[in-house]
Amino acid sequence: MGGITANVNWLAVAVGTVLSFALGGLWYSPKLFGTKWAEGAGVSMKGEAGRPAAALMAQFVATFMLAWVVGVTAANDALMTIILVTATIAALMAGGGMFS
């Protein structure tokens, strides 16, 4: 693959997506925190509601976009830029999560 996404590390996208799905599946399983999470969020873990296809697709797209941004910044010798952007977004998300 070339063109605009030439700097994307597709292996990293695939591995990151699979790992995030697997870790999320484990984390939200009834054996760990899934039951309490569902109770607190007011959702059912039965049937189709138990398979969040939209969330899985969003995770894949976000993983791809992160790999793309890292590839572009690395190709332009601006890797510190992506490190700062990622740390900033993580800090903002953490702060926002503390309000809920």
- What does each of the 100 residues of the chain score in pLDDT, given as a tens digit? 557 677 778 888 888 888 888 888 888 888 888 888 888 877 777 765 556 678 778 888 888 888 888 888 888 888 888 888 889 999 998 888 887 6
Give the CA distances from residue 99 to residues 3, 51, 95, 96, in Å, rounded to whole numbers and listed in that order: 41, 27, 7, 6
DSSP string, 58-96: HHHHHHHHHHHHHHHHHHTT-HHHHHHHHHHHHHHHHHH
Amino acid at 14: A
Radius of gyration of the chain (CA): 17
pTM over 0.85: no
